[in-house]
């Protein structure tokens, strides 16, 4: 019997995360989230003081301290989330620390457009919860400046035969908790638009951080564009525009 995942609508996702907002520390422990995983994900963004960064699905703001340390008070941090309950906690955290350069927005990530070109984009335990994740990835990639980095940090089924046996339980558990689709493979979707994807796995391959760097665009001197010389991100944008 095939095991399938049925996506929830966006309102269901928002309501679920409103309900579990205060349980995030407990859920992190229940799912054995490595304590330094968020910090390492931010490190993979390669940010510098003064940079602009967006966290998609920022939740209760558990990554904000690491992002603020990376870009400093002169940088800009944008956080978007569909759950007002999660954002209230992120806003309280930001006020408590006096982070005046943090802008939090309640929005569907596919509809959010960052006000500036971004040096980094982070998905932190959020990509697999988005039923329209490809559209969100497209929007994020297009707002990333050439040379900017996109990082996805999330959980996955461990490699090997165990994955087959764990899949039914994983689907049941996700349906009742985080609504994260265990069948999604974000590193492949990111690899379809980027030249190269770095993949780092943790905790017996059940968690990962994948990263891609947006390449610079290239054009012919006479202004013509040879499809063979169009960078992967541009091909992706052209394909999406045609759909």
pLDDT at 161: 79
Under CATH, domain 10-215+228-242 is a member of which superfamily?
Vaccinia Virus protein VP39 (3.40.50.150)
pLDDT at 240: 40
Interatomic CA distance for residues 54 and 219, integer angstroms = 28
pLDDT at 28: 95
Q: Which residues of the chain have pLDDT under 70?
A: 1-3, 217-243
pLDDT at 7: 85
Taking only the tens place, the pLDDT of each residue in 131-177 is 899 999 999 999 999 999 999 999 998 877 778 888 899 999 999 99
Give me the phi and psi of 228, to 5 degrees please: -70, -20
pLDDT at 239: 44
| Domain extents in the chain | 10-215+228-242
Q: How many CB atoms lie within 10 A of CB 242?
A: 6
Residues 6+ apart with CB under 8 A from 190: 137, 150, 152, 197, 210, 212
Interatomic CA distance for residues 222 and 16, integer angstroms = 53
pLDDT at 218: 55
């Amino acid at each position: 019997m095939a095991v399938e995942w049925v996506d929830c609508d966006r309102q269901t996702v928002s309501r679920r995360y409103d309900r579990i907002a205060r349980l995030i520390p407990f859920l992190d422990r229940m799912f054995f989230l490595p304590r330094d995983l968020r910090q390492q994900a931010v490190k993979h963004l390669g940010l510098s003081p003064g940079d602009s960064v967006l966290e998609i699905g920022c939740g209760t703001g558990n990554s904000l301290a690491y992002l603020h340390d990376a870009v400093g008070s002169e940088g800009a941090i944008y956080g978007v989330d569909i759950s007002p309950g999660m954002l209230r906690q992120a806003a309280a955290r930001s006020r408590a620390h006096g982070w005046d350069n943090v802008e939090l927005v309640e929005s569907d990530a596919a509809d959010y457009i960052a006000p500036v070109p971004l040096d980094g984009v982070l998905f932190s335990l959020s990509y697999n919860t988005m039923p329209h994740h490809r559209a969100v990835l497209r929007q994020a990639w297009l707002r990333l400046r050439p040379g900017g980095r996109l990082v996805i940090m999330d959980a996955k089924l461990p490699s090997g035969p165990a994955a087959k046996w764990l899949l039914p339980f994983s689907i049941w558990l996700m349906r009742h908790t985080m609504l994260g689709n265990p069948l999604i493979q974000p590193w492949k979707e990111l690899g379809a638009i980027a030249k190269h994807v770095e993949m780092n796995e943790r905790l017996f391959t059940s968690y990962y951080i994948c990263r891609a760097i947006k390449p610079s665009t290239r054009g012919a001197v006479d202004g013509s564009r040879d499809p063979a010389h169009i960078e992967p991100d541009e091909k992706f944008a052209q394909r999406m525009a045609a759909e």
